[in-house]
Structure formats: C-alpha cells, structure tokens
Structure 1
Amino acid sequence: MMKNMALAGNGMKKLILAVLLLCLVIGQIQVEAKSCCPSTTARNVYNTCRLTGASRPTCAKLSGCQIISGNKCKPPNDHLTLDPDTEEVNVLNFCKLGCASSVCNNINAALGNEEANDAVESCDQACSSFCSVHVGSATVVA
C-alpha cells in the first residue's frame, strides 16, 4: 500500500510540474506580446527579471528590451517574438507533449498491461482535447 501511495505522490509531482511549465509558457507568450528584445540573452535577462517580480519598464531597461503598445516588434528588437501564425502551434505541441509524458506515461508504468495501452490512448486523446481548447483561448488573449 505504501508503494502505491509513493507512486501516486510521484505522479502528482509530475502533473504539478507539467502544469507549472504550461503556465510559464503561456505567461511568456503574454510577455513577448508586449516586449521586444534584440537577442536571446536580452530575452532571457528580461524574462528572469520579470520572474523576480520587477516591473516591465525596470526589466526592459536592465535587459535592453523595449516595451511597445502594440504586439508586433520591429528589427532589430524582434528576437524571439512569437509569430502569430506559429505561436499557437508551438504552445499546443508543448502542451500535448507535456501532458502526455507526465500524466499518460504514469498510467502505463502503474498498470503495465493491455488495459494500460487503452487507458494511455484515451489519456492522449484527453490531453489533445484539453490543450486544443485551453491553448487556443490562451493565445488569443495574448
């Protein structure tokens, strides 16, 4: 019984990690829609600064990025700005992969039989549906 509880606790940790990663990705989309950076280093400095709770203007000044009122960055400050035609696809694929690897793989490890294969397939479909609905609405907001 203790072993089952340990497996459940481990699975819960992975699920929480996947949700946190998804939130960071969606949060990054919202940040990138308003900030324009000239390099990968500048983008990383800006994102790290924002994670500490500093204001957008403070982080922009520190990193060399610019805050814009629109959502389209212009060269040379267009590094790592999400293209509206691809941002949803990238986040959607990340969501599906994270959900499937963290949630669905635990089913297979726990059961390890034919029944598990059916459950994993259903789980993959559920991840796909969840991500399609929630990622689509999140990228529209950004």
Structure 2
Amino acid sequence: MMKNMALAGNGMKKLILAVLLLCLVIGQIQVEAKSCCPSTTARNIYNTCRITGTSRPTCAKLSGCKIISGDKCKPPNDHLTLDPDTVNVLNFCKLGCASSVCNNINAALGNEEANDAVESCDQACSSFCNVHVGAATVVA
C-alpha cells in the first residue's frame, strides 16, 4: 500500500509539473500583430528594419507603417506583403537599400546606438538584396 501511495504521489508531481509547464507555454503565446504600410517602399523599409532585430514600433515609426491587432489593413496602409514583382525588388536594391533605410535609422537615433543599428542595417540590406536578386535571377 505504501508503494501505491508513493507511485500516486509521483504521478501527482508529474501532473503538477505538466500543468505548470503548460501555463508557462500558454503565457508565452501572444496575439500576432500585423504591420500595414502605405507603399511597397515603406513595406521594404519596415521589413529590412525588422531583420536587424529592431522593435516593431520603432520600425513602424521609421517606415511610416502602422501596427494593428486585427487581420485587415485599411487604405492607404493596405500594402501588407512585399510586392512579388522581381523588377521592384531589383530596383529597390539598385537604388540602395542601405542608403534609404539605414540613413533613416541614423537620423532617428542620432547617437552612439545608431552606429550599431546602422551596421546591422547594412548587413540586413545585403542579405535582403542577395536573397531577392538571386531568386529573381533564377526566375528570369
């Protein structure tokens, strides 16, 4: 009988541990917010900014996008996704992702923190253009 009680106590410990872990996981789940942008250029700026690890509110402020909790963007901020047209992607990279996006970060922060952010931004622009230009070359 003592052995059965020990097993029952062991099972109860496992149940309590499972419930605690479940509560921790559920606590981590957040409602996904969406960003709504007024143009494809603003969308590109927002996405490049986010790749660097910058927060959503900061990237939205820099790009002119808005963060919403719903799932529908309303005009004029209804450019929810990147334009898949490869010509636009190539033009964006040719015009200089780094200068158009990273200069905004530098102007907005304007301090020591900006140097690290701009360096990360440059790397993100390089990755963005390499991936999209490579994909466009394969498609063409």
* Contact 2:43/2:82, CA 8 A, preserved across alignment: no
Distance change >3 Å, CA 96–CA 56, structure 1 → 2: closer
* Contact 2:52/2:124, CA 8 A, preserved across alignment: no
Greater C-alpha Rg: 2
- Greater than 2 Å deviation, 4+ residue runs: 1-33, 80-86, 89-142
What do the CA deviations read for 1:82-129 (whole angstroms, capped 9, x no partner)?
Answer: 99999xx99999999999999999999999999999999999999999
Distance change >3 Å, CA 137–CA 115, structure 1 → 2: same
C-alpha displacement of 1:37: 0.2
Larger RCO (CA within 8 A; separation ≥ 6): 1
Q: TM-score if structure 2 supplies the norm length?
A: 0.35
Distance change >3 Å, CA 73–CA 134, structure 1 → 2: same
RMSD: 20.2
* Contact 1:60/1:66, CA 8 A, preserved across alignment: yes
* Contact 2:42/2:65, CA 8 A, preserved across alignment: yes
Name 1:2's counterpart in structure 2: 2
C-alpha displacement of 1:71: 1.1
After superposing the two structures, state which structure 1 stretch, 126-135 or 34-43, moved more: 126-135
Q: Structure 1, unaligned stretches of length 5 or more?
A: none
The whole-number CA distance in structure 2 between the counterparts of 1:90 and 1:48 is 15
The whole-number CA distance in structure 2 between the counterparts of 1:3 and 1:109 is 70
The whole-number CA distance in structure 2 between the counterparts of 1:5 and 1:76 is 66
After superposing the two structures, state which structure 1 stretch, 18-27 or 34-43, moved more: 18-27
Distance change >3 Å, CA 43–CA 92, structure 1 → 2: closer
Q: TM-score if structure 1 supplies the norm length?
A: 0.35
Count matched residues: 140
